[in-house]
Amino acid sequence: MRPGESGRRIHASSRLATQLMVGFTCFGGLALLCSLMWQVGLVELRMSVQALGLWLVPFLLLDSVSLWLHTIGWRVCFRPGQHSLHLWQLGLLRLAGSAVNWVTPLAGIGGEVVKVLLLESTIPRAQAAATVVIDKASFLLAQLFYLVLGMLCLIKYLPLPDVWWWHISLSLGLLFLGLIGFVVCQRYGLLSHGIRRLSDLGIAQARLQRLSQRLEPFDAQLRGYYVAYPWRFVGSLGLHILAFAFDGVQTYVLLSLLLGDRAPGLAQALMVAITVTALDQMFFFVTANLGTLEASRFMVLSALGIAQVYGLAFGLVARIHSLVWNGLGLLAYTWCLRRPHLVQPRAR
């Protein structure tokens, strides 16, 4: 076997396995969606969605509030004066990254890489990567607080056995500890230090030492931010929490449009929003949440005693919402690639 041929075969096998997994999950999600539509009935489903009428357009536009809150939360993860991009430019980059995460089953990592690559036209890579990683930590912590609030709401409405609640609490606690550890590693620049320690074991020593040296500027950027501007991170966390809370308001508006006087109150709508967010995160490996996005909303509303047709209509509107905004994100990604001047620094 010629040198490099084994590596190419392994790469081809890994690519084939990934394609098969994506194909299988997409087929399974599509089958799940079709079965739900068959169960509910197409006529009733069409009538319930059509009841929204032109209200669907302003509802879709509501998501711009969450987008800007998340974008401002990312903006404060930069040091003052570190970049000169307009807020709308950062919004385009965030929208593009979210869309890439939507179409790739990479647990929300692919979009972060895209944001770093697009930011490289304005600031050095180490600075770009640091701001994206800081924002990711802030975003995940805010999402965890949001999910904990949902668990507290579920205790009231969903009488699960105590052992289940114990397991859920343990899982959330471990996630919280992991995220705190992630922030601590950033604060003290432990990534390059940890890789340097690994090189001392004598395994791939030269390669690990080179990697450690490359990561030192990145660690320095992280340390500098947390030492000089710790309250900016707190502000970013608060803005992301506000954005997630607004998702609950959007859910309340949508359920009111669908159900009218029979719609649940704001507290229950917030519980629904948090629960479906948690379920969507569990099925991150399904490309575009095909089938699982609709099924999660169908299941949650059914658990509240709401007619199944409204649960599936809720899911289909969420699908339209996802298609519209992630479609805009893919357009933003293509636009930024073809017109790099859009993310060039503004004149001072």
State pLDDT tens for residues 28-50. 666 666 776 666 666 666 766 67
Is the pLDDT score of 260 beyond 60?
A: yes
Band (300; pLDDT cuts 50, 70, 90): confident
In this prediction, residues 93-106 reach a mean pLDDT of 83
In a domain, 207, yes or no: no
Burial of 308 (0-12, 13-18, 19+ CB in 10 A): middle
Pick the more confident residue, 105 or 211.
211
Closest CA to 310 of 31, 19, 32, 48: 48
Pick the more confident residue, 6 or 184.
184
Domain carrying residue 253: 33-185+225-340
Is the pLDDT score of 107 beyond 80?
A: no
In a domain, 201, yes or no: no
In this prediction, residues 293-320 reach a mean pLDDT of 83
Q: Which residues contact 196 (CB under 8 A, 6 or more apart)?
A: 208, 209, 212
Contact of 309 with 44, CB cutoff 8 Å: yes
In a domain, 13, yes or no: no
In a domain, 15, yes or no: no
The number of domains in the chain is 1
In a domain, 24, yes or no: no
In a domain, 137, yes or no: yes
Q: Find tokens 């929208």 and name the residue.
A: 95
In this prediction, residues 308-324 reach a mean pLDDT of 85
Pick the more confident residue, 90 or 103.
90
In this prediction, residues 39-68 reach a mean pLDDT of 79
In this prediction, residues 12-38 reach a mean pLDDT of 60
Whether pTM > 0.85 for this model: the answer is no
Distance CA 206, CA 243 (A): 45
Is the pLDDT score of 233 beyond 70?
A: yes
Q: What pLDDT sits at residue 348?
A: 43
Is the pLDDT score of 70 beyond 90?
A: yes
Q: What pLDDT sits at residue 317?
A: 87
In a domain, 169, yes or no: yes
Q: Find tokens 């790469």 and name the residue.
A: 11
Q: What pLDDT sits at residue 3?
A: 47
Q: What pLDDT sits at residue 347?
A: 47
DSSP string, 85-132: --HHHHHHHHHHHHHHHHHS-STT-HHHHHHHHHHTTTS-HHHHHHHH
Lowest-pLDDT choice from 116-130, 290-304, 313-327: 290-304
In a domain, 17, yes or no: no
Summarised one tens digit per residue, pLDDT across range 275-292 is: 888 777 777 667 767 777
In this prediction, residues 57-80 reach a mean pLDDT of 92
Band (1; pLDDT cuts 50, 70, 90): very low
Q: What pLDDT sits at residue 280?
A: 78
Q: What pLDDT sits at residue 16?
A: 55
Distance CA 304, CA 68 (A): 32
Pick the more confident residue, 70 or 212.
70
Pick the more confident residue, 85 or 15.
85
Mean pLDDT over all residues of the chain? Answer: 78
Pick the more confident residue, 22 or 139.
139
Backbone angles phi, psi at 92, to 5 degrees: -60, -45
Q: What pLDDT sits at residue 22?
A: 55
